[in-house]
A and B are shown apart, each in its own frame.
Chain A
Amino acid sequence: MDIVLRQLRKTYGSAVAVADLSVTIPQGKMLALLGPSGCGKTTTLRMVAGFIEPSAGSIHVGDRDITALPAHKRDTGLVFQSYALFPHLSAAENIAFGLRRRGVAKAEREQRVAAMIGKLKLSGLADRLPRQLSGGQQQRVAVARALVINPSILLLDEPFSNLDAKLREGTGLELSRLQQEYGLTSIFVTHDQSEAMSIADVIAVMKDGELQQIGSASEIYENPANRFVAEFIGRANFLPGRIVAKDGQSLEVALDAGVTVLAQSAETLQPVGRAIALLRPEAIVLVEPGTPQTLTGRVEAVSYQGATVYIHMCLADGTLITCSATPEASRRVTVGERIGLLPVAQRIRLFAE
């Protein structure tokens, strides 16, 4: 079922927690609400779950308006950041809780709980209390408890933030697989951009209660709507400059660092004026120093990350800049050396200063 948020708004006194948020999540898709803490993402999720009453706007699931429906009638599967497992109930009883509330007969209940225990690899742990389970196991019990009731929508509140990095990716993919298998429309709250990019179909970036941009991971990374989004998603270098000419979609910018480049912008910018250019680390190519139309940087540090190597450099005016290279290319680089940096024209984005 689709989830539609219409002009959803929440204010506390004069403070605006969520400002007129309108989003449509198509059937079976996962939306990530991404932003720093205090951006309103959790408030939004809790309004959809029915724990917080919106100040204005409406929430629709399928063709039902659920804005005024109490939480226990909303039929949502919810996985909490803290998992919120009932500490006095065993893993199996936690999973069975929602089925009991729905009056599912004992035989069917036991069969559905057993199926969930098998599906989430919890066999042998059914009789354990939550405190006797590891973090990863608790998380799987929380997911099983949310899915066993066959909810119409799935809500995830930072479900991986209490797992260690290694477990996080595998669990994320597993959850995304289950979500697709059940065809559940879901909302996923996170402050971790890589988590959002790896499992969500659509990402909504929020800041101070306002939606900044909504789109696929690649749209948001490659064409950020504003400087905040560009900075929040992925690594970014910002170089100030002056717009000197406009040619259709392209803007010619004279960077203060010394070169003139062509850039695109999602904002409407006019020559002549100050602007700030975004160069992703992979939008800079390493060349021989002294090549025309390049910047020159001194290598400050080389950070090896496996598949990619980040090279941190200092420009003549003191600006720090990071570019990425393959491990092979990085072997020719030594700290202290001077290198030419060639910005890749098609990948430069411009924002108002």
Chain B
Amino acid sequence: MTQAAQSGVNGRPLWRSALVPVLLFAPCVLVYAIFFIWPQASLLGLSASDKAGLTLDHYGRFAGDSYYWDILGRTLGLGLAVTVITLLLGLPTAYVLARSQSRWAGFLLLLTTFPLLVSAVVRSFGWMVLFFKDGLVSKALQSLGLASGPVQTMYTMPGVIIALAQVLLPLMVLTLHGVFKSIDRDLEYAAMSLGARPSVALWLVTLRLARGGIVAGSLLVFSLAISAFATPSLVGGARANVMATAIYEQTVELLDWPFGATLATILLVTVLGLSLAYGALIEGREKMEARP
């Protein structure tokens, strides 16, 4: 027995077996350390210092100015709206595609990912064509009698929300599709045979089991929506200012790097905090339900 413990796996010494996962892990860790952790750390340092040394002045400037609070609020609202819309559209789509026996199901799933294949700039110009005062959306609303005059969706928050929901919907659909595929359909049938109508079976079994995936998809879409830059700046313009565009403005246009770094840090901390809280909330409920 001691012989086996000393010789490790396949007769190789233990330290060598332990080294393998470390070596496999190392390249990824290295890339992350150089290109993610280090810049983030220097950003944090930049936001909390000036020529004199450590300071919280930049954060004070943010806290004292309602203009920036509005931007943060608008950004979180944008994230929430996009998440809700993609969930509402993505859940039924992913469910139907996952349960479909049709040979077209695979092709249709591929179709839903098409927006991802188009560059953000091209896509945004497409939205411009639709959203301008004399664009398709405006004309359609007028001819349906839903609007009395020309409707400008370009350079408004609703425009940004619609455009972002469109590009992030595939990510929601793909995430949920995988989750629904992994849930055995017989579980729904079992619930029905026990007297649950199909909608109840869906709620008590399928959606309940898909909860982890719904959380993952929501967090993915939310974090991508609030950090999106190209779509808000092209479709939203100056009137629909969000954190990402504000950071760009500070660093590239006003060259105020410390304050740009401050905004970036605040955005990062907010996202991190919300994600952890959301995850903990779901996990907590899970634990509570496991103990009847």
What is the CA–CA distance of A85 and B209 in the complex, to the nearest angstrom? 12
The distance in angstroms between the C-alpha atoms of A93 and B187, with both chains bound, is: 14
Residue numbers in A under 8 Å from B208 (CB-CB): 88
- Report which A residues bind B (CB closer than 8 A): 49-51, 70-78, 80, 82, 84-88, 90, 93, 97-98, 101-102, 129, 145-146, 149, 155
Q: Is the CB of A97 within 8 A of B194?
A: yes
**Given the interface contacts A90-B292, A93-B292, does A84 sit within 8 Å of B196 by beta carbon?**
no
Using CB atoms and an 8 Å cutoff, list the residues of chain B in contact with chain A: 184, 186-187, 189-198, 200-201, 205, 208-209, 289-290, 292
- Closest residue of chain B to A76 (Cβ to Cβ) is B193
Give the docked Cα–Cα distance between A336 and B201 (Å).
64
Is B184 a contact partner of A84 (Cβ separation < 8 A)?
yes
Contact status B189-A86, CB under 8 Å:
no
Number of A-B contacts (CB under 8 A): 68
On chain A, the residues within 8 Å of B187 by CB distance are 84, 86-87
Asked whether B292 lies within 8 Å of A72 as measured between CB atoms, the reply is: no
CB closest residue in chain B, given A129: B290
Which of chain B's residues have a CB closer than 8 A to the CB of A50?
192-193
Which B residues are CB-close (under 8 A) to A93? Answer: 292
- Find out whether the CB atom of A86 lies under 8 angstroms from the CB atom of B192: no
Q: Are A78 and B205 in contact (CB under 8 A)?
A: no
28 CB < 8 A contacts A-B: A50-B192, A50-B193, A70-B198, A71-B189, A71-B192, A71-B193, A72-B201, A75-B195, A76-B193, A78-B193, A80-B186, A80-B189, A82-B184, A84-B184, A84-B189, A84-B190, A86-B190, A88-B289, A90-B292, A97-B191, A98-B195, A101-B195, A101-B196, A129-B290, A145-B190, A145-B194, A149-B194, A149-B195
Name the B residues within 8 Å of A80 (CB-CB). Answer: 186, 189-190
Residues of A within 8 A of B191 (CB): 86, 97
With A and B bound together, what is the CA distance between A78 and B198 in angstroms? 16
Complex formed: what's the CA distance from A149 to B194 in Å?
Answer: 8
In the assembly, what is the distance between CA of A297 and CA of B209, in Å? 62
Enumerate chain B residues within 8 angstroms of A86, measured Cβ to Cβ: 187, 190-191, 205
Partner of B209 from the list A87, A102, A145 (CB cut-off 8 Å) is A87
Once the chains bind, are B197 and A88 in contact (CB under 8 Å)?
A: no
Closest to A77 in B: B193
Our pick among A51, A72, A87, A155 for the contact of B195 (Cβ within 8 Å) is: A72
Q: Which of B186, B208, B289 is the most central at the interface, judged by chain A CB atoms within 10 Å of its CB?
A: B186
Q: Which residues of A contact B186 (CB under 8 A)?
A: 80, 82, 84
Q: Is the CB of B193 within 8 A of A74?
A: yes
